[in-house]
């Protein structure tokens, strides 16, 4: 849209429909795009190369002979399928948990009046910026005291609550007209029915956005699994991958196969629900 | 029954104050703040019940650890013996520890060099994309791929590209006659390498935020500027930049706060080395808590980090109140 005056100038002055500045924009964006894609391409390429092929032709994109054995070997050397299942389990539980607790609390903050509501909400706002790294040590002590170290519960439980999620959903619920609920109240609907039959169905986009945002965070989390999980069979993908790196004495072909495996689910999720990923990010960036 | 009424008044004043402070809230909470319903017992109980699951999490995993961390930072505790009161000893030791200053310096280097690059390049790409480019969605997808990938995976990919012998990066630089760069093995180059990876991973994120901000600039401003004969450069500096400055400021501050928590990329890519050149504050928390089992000491580091985060959060609040472009 900023380019419009130049286009006007072009049509009156020159005959070329595409301006130089636009060509430059395409060139720069394409160059940047290539830089974004190359590490992925080379990673996937390396994952299909044999060890000697990778050693003698490290810069070739296309393998001289394609091989699946790296992928087989990854599963043979470490329980990678368990890493997958563990990550799926923890991600699903945390995401669902955050959605439920945040939506319930957001409804209370947005629609119900009770003493201390604004005070509590300010408390939530105040802690929104506090990083989890600061609460890590006491959380570890608490989990140790509860006997939950080296269990998936130690990763899921702290993730069940999100001040940010509550804030985001509250803001969304406030945009839903109250008249809808007033009509339902006259029909004798209680709070739970109004919440579940009016507010929730209307909030699907907001719930999806928050859900995807939380899912991405939990799936890619590294610090908490590293602190709380010891047993090999309980590891998540990120943790398993980082430890596998040390175990295989950097056989890049194997490591790149494992890396590819760990990225693929998130990339597929992103490509199929792109809108929600992008909206989630845009919202987190514009809060405040 | 004077109390409930006055409570409502107080609530309304608080709400109004809050609205003044958070204009974003005011646009959304229109009808709610003027409601003067009496406090209703049933509604109160319902409110607390709806809040309860989240509140338990908030108390157990936010309020308790915040207080616990503060108390721990004033004590010595190795998890085996019972904790002993240490006063300011942890903080004194911390400030005398050269590794702390080194980590703080590294983390600040990462934040204050990395974040401006992220912001400038992210904004630049967003402006390019926003100027009637065909294939916006395609480019957005491509630039966003690293954002959805885990930092661990991304760091491993780059570790291979950085490799001194078989790495693609030095090979490509060789085409232009540039001598091999000792990316991850020299203390001088290690942090720039880390920043490069973080930049590559984060640029799509910033680009998307700026795209959203650019969409919020009203088109008629550009139209009138064009009538006045402003060129694109002038339009950017006089319209786009001031209009998106609140987002820019917000993104800058949150990026700096996030950068001070850097852990994944340095742990996987360099392990904090070489010669502690990429050791960071959070790596130090991890090291002292879970390698040396000095819970008090680790908590004092966490509280220093908390202080830094707090300063930037307050800056954010202070300036967002002053900004008029909202």
- Residue B64 sits in the same domain as residue B157: no
**Residue B290 has what pLDDT?**
93
Q: Which range among A76-85, B104-113, B217-226 shows the weakest confidence by mean pLDDT?
A: B217-226
Report helix, strand or coil for B294.
coil
- Residue A155 sits in the same domain as residue A81: yes
Name the residue in chain B with its Cα closest to that of A136: B65
**Tally of CB atoms within 10 A around B7:** 15
DSSP string, chain A: -TTHHHHHHHHHS-S-SS-HHHHHHHHHHHHHHHHHHHHHHHHHHHHTS-HHHHHH-TT-SS-SS---HHHHHHHHHS-HHHHHHHHHHHHHHHHHHHHHHHHHHHHHHHH---TTHHHHHHHHHHHTT--TTTSHHHHHHHHHHTT-TTSTHHHHGGGG--HHHHHHHHHHHHTS-HHHHHHHHHTT--HHHHIIIIIHHHTHHHHHHHHHHHHHHHHH--HHHHHH--SGGG--HHHHHHHHHHHTTS-HHHHHHHHHHHHHHHHHHHHHSHHHHHHHHHHHHH--
Number of residues that make up chain A: 288
Give the span between the Cα atoms of B300 and B69, in whole angstroms: 8
Q: Per the structure block, which two tokens stand in for B176?
A: 């232009």
Q: Which one of A42, A72, A102 terminates a domain?
A: A72
Task: Residue A183: give its domain's CATH number.
Answer: 1.10.3720.10
**What integer is the mean pLDDT of B108-116?**
95
Intra-chain end-to-end CA distance of chain B, in Å = 41
- Residue B183 sits in the same domain as residue B36: no
B143-182 burial, b at 16+ Cβ within 10 Å, e below that, comes to bbbbbbbbbbbbbbbbbbbbbeebbbbbeeeeeeeeeebb
- Residue A130 sits in the same domain as residue A91: yes
Q: Per the structure block, which two tokens stand in for A233?
A: 């069979």
- Residue B148 sits in the same domain as residue B38: no
Q: Which one of A20, A41, A72 terminates a domain?
A: A72
How many CA atoms lie within 13 Å of A174's alpha carbon, on the beta-carbon side?
Answer: 20
- Residue A16 sits in the same domain as residue A82: no
**What integer is the mean pLDDT of B114-125?**
94
Mean pLDDT of chain B: 83
**Residue B233 has what pLDDT?**
84
Tell me which residue range forms the domain holding A152: 74-286
Report helix, strand or coil for B204.
helix
Q: Per the structure block, which two tokens stand in for A187?
A: 């029909």
Mean pLDDT per 10-residue segment, chain A (288 residues): 42 57 88 93 90 80 85 90 95 95 94 90 86 90 93 92 90 87 83 89 89 90 94 92 78 90 91 81 57
**Residue A248 has what pLDDT?**
60
A34-46 burial, b at 16+ Cβ within 10 Å, e below that, comes to eebebbbebbbbb
- Residue A85 sits in the same domain as residue A140: yes
- Residue B130 sits in the same domain as residue B237: yes
Give the span between the Cα atoms of A103 and A109, in whole angstroms: 10
- Residue B146 sits in the same domain as residue B240: yes
ipTM of the complex: 0.85
Contacting B residues, span 93-122, partner chain A, CB-CB under 8 Å: none
Number of domains composing chain A: 2
- Residue A84 sits in the same domain as residue A16: no
* Four-point Cα dihedral A204, A210, A214, A217, nearest 10: 130
pLDDT of B138 over the 70 cut: yes
- Residue A209 sits in the same domain as residue A88: yes
Number of domains composing chain B: 2
| Measured CA distances, A213 to A200, A208, A263, B151 (Å) | 18, 8, 16, 15
- Residue A122 sits in the same domain as residue A57: no
- Residue B218 sits in the same domain as residue B308: yes
- Residue A214 sits in the same domain as residue A172: yes
Contacting B residues, span 262-321, partner chain A, CB-CB under 8 Å: 263-264, 267-268, 282, 285-286, 289-290, 295, 298-299, 302-303, 305-306, 309, 313, 316, 320
- Residue A233 sits in the same domain as residue A273: yes
- Residue B242 sits in the same domain as residue B119: yes
Q: Do A107 and B213 touch (CB under 8 A)?
A: no
Whether the bond into A9 is cis, omega within 30 of 0: no
Task: Residue B297: give its domain's CATH number.
Answer: 1.10.3720.10
- Residue B29 sits in the same domain as residue B138: no
Give the span between the Cα atoms of B49 and A195, in whole angstroms: 13
Its pTM stands at: 0.84
- Residue B99 sits in the same domain as residue B224: yes
Contact B127, B186 (CB under 8 A): no
DSSP string, B52-112: HHHHHHHIIIIIHHHHHHHHHHTEE--SSSPPEE-TTHHHHHHHH-HHHHHHHHHHHHHHH
Residues contacting residue A225 through CB under 8 Å, at least 6 positions apart = A155, A235, A236, A238, A239
**Residue B39 has what pLDDT?**
62
- Residue B251 sits in the same domain as residue B305: yes
Percent of chain B with pLDDT over 90: 47
Q: Which one of B32, B64, B88 terminates a domain?
A: B88
**Cβ contacts (< 8 Å) between A25 and chain B: which residues?**
128, 131, 133
- Residue A254 sits in the same domain as residue A143: yes
Q: Which one of B73, B88, B103 terminates a domain?
A: B88
Tell me which residue range forms the domain holding B105: 92-322
Q: Which one of B88, B103, B138 terminates a domain?
A: B88
- Residue A53 sits in the same domain as residue A80: no
Q: Do A282 and B211 touch (CB under 8 A)?
A: yes
**Cβ contacts (< 8 Å) between A141 and chain B: which residues?**
68, 72, 79, 295
Q: Which one of A34, A49, A72 terminates a domain?
A: A72
**Residue A287 has what pLDDT?**
43
- Residue A136 sits in the same domain as residue A266: yes
Q: Do B305 and A242 touch (CB under 8 A)?
A: no
A207-243 burial, b at 16+ Cβ within 10 Å, e below that, comes to bbbbbbbbbbbbbbbbbbbbbbbeeeebbbbbbbbbe
- Residue B98 sits in the same domain as residue B47: no
For B265-319, write each residue's pLDDT tens digit: 999 999 888 999 999 999 999 999 999 999 999 999 999 999 998 998 888 878 7
Biggest alpha carbon–alpha carbon distance for chain B: 85
| Measured CA distances, A272 to A267, B130, B208 (Å) | 9, 23, 18
Q: Do A281 and B200 touch (CB under 8 A)?
A: no
- Residue B244 sits in the same domain as residue B204: yes
**Residue B323 has what pLDDT?**
57
Name the residue in chain B with its Cα closest to that of A134: B302
């Amino acid at each position: 849209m900023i380019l419009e005056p130049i286009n006007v100038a072009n049509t009156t002055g020159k005959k070329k429909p595409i301006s130089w500045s636009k060509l430059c924009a395409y060139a720069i964006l394409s160059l940047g795009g290539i830089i974004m894609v190359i590490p992925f391409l080379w990673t996937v390429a390396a994952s299909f190369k044999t060890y000697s092929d990778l050693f003698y032709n490290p810069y070739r994109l296309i393998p001289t002979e394609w091989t699946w054995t790296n992928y087989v070997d990854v599963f043979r050397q470490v329980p990678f399928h368990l890493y997958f299942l563990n990550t799926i389990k923890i991600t699903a539980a945390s995401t669902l948990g955050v959605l439920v607790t945040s939506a319930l609390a957001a409804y209370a903050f947005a629609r119900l009046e009770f003493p201390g509501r604004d005070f509590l909400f300010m408390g939530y706002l105040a802690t929104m910026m506090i990083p989890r790294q600061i609460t890590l040590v006491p959380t570890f002590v608490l989990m140790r005291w509860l006997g939950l170290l080296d269990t998936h519960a130690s990763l899921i439980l702290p993730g069940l609550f999100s001040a940010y999620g509550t804030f985001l959903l509250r803001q969304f619920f406030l945009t839903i007209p109250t008249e809808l609920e007033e009509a339902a109240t006259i029909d004798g609907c209680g709070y739970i029915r109004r919440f579940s039959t009016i507010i929730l169905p209307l909030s699907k986009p907001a719930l999806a956005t928050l859900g995807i945002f939380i899912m991405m965070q939990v799936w890619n989390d590294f610090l908490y699994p590293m602190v709380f999980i010891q047993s090999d069979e309980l590891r998540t993908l990120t943790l398993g991958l980082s430890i596998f790196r040390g175990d295989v004495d950097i056989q890049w072909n194997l490591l790149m196969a494992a890396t590819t495996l760990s990225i693929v689910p998130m990339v597929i999720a992103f490509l199929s629900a792109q809108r929600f990923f992008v909206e989630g990010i845009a919202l987190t960036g514009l809060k405040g | 029954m004077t109390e409930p009424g006055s409570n409502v008044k107080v609530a309304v004043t608080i709400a109004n104050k809050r609205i003044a402070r958070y204009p974003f809230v005011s646009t959304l909470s229109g009808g709610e703040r003027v409601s003067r319903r009496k406090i209703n017992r049933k509604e109160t109980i319902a409110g607390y019940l709806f809040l309860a699951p989240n509140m338990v999490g908030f108390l157990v995993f936010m309020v308790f650890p915040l207080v616990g961390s503060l108390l721990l930072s004033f004590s010595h505790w190795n998890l085996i013996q019972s904790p002993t009161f240490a006063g300011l000893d942890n903080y004194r030791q911390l400030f005398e520890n050269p590794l702390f200053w080194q980590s703080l310096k590294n983390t600040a280097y990462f934040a204050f060099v990395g974040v401006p690059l992220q912001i400038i390049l992210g904004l630049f790409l967003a402006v390019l994309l926003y100027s009637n480019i065909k294939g916006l969605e395609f480019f957005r997808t491509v630039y966003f791929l690293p954002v959805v990938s885990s930092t661990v995976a991304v760091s491993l990919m780059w570790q291979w590209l950085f490799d001194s012998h078989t790495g693609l990066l030095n090979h490509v630089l060789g085409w232009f006659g540039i001598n091999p760069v000792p990316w991850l093995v020299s203390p001088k180059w290690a942090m720039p390498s880390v920043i490069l990876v973080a930049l590559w991973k984060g640029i799509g994120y910033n680009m998307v935020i700026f795209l959203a901000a650019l969409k919020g600039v009203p088109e008629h401003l550009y139209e009138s500027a064009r009538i006045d004969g402003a060129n694109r450069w002038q339009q950017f500096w006089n319209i786009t930049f001031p209009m998106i400055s609140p987002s820019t400021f917000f993104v800058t501050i949150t990026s700096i706060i996030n950068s001070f928590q850097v852990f994944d990329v340095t742990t996987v890519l360099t392990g904090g080395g070489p010669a502690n050149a990429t050791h960071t504050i959070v790596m130090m928390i991890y090291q002292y808590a879970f390698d040396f089992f000095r819970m008090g000491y680790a908590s004092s580091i966490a509280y220093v980090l908390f202080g830094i985060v707090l300063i930037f959060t307050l800056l954010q609040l202070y300036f967002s109140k002053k900004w008029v472009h909202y």
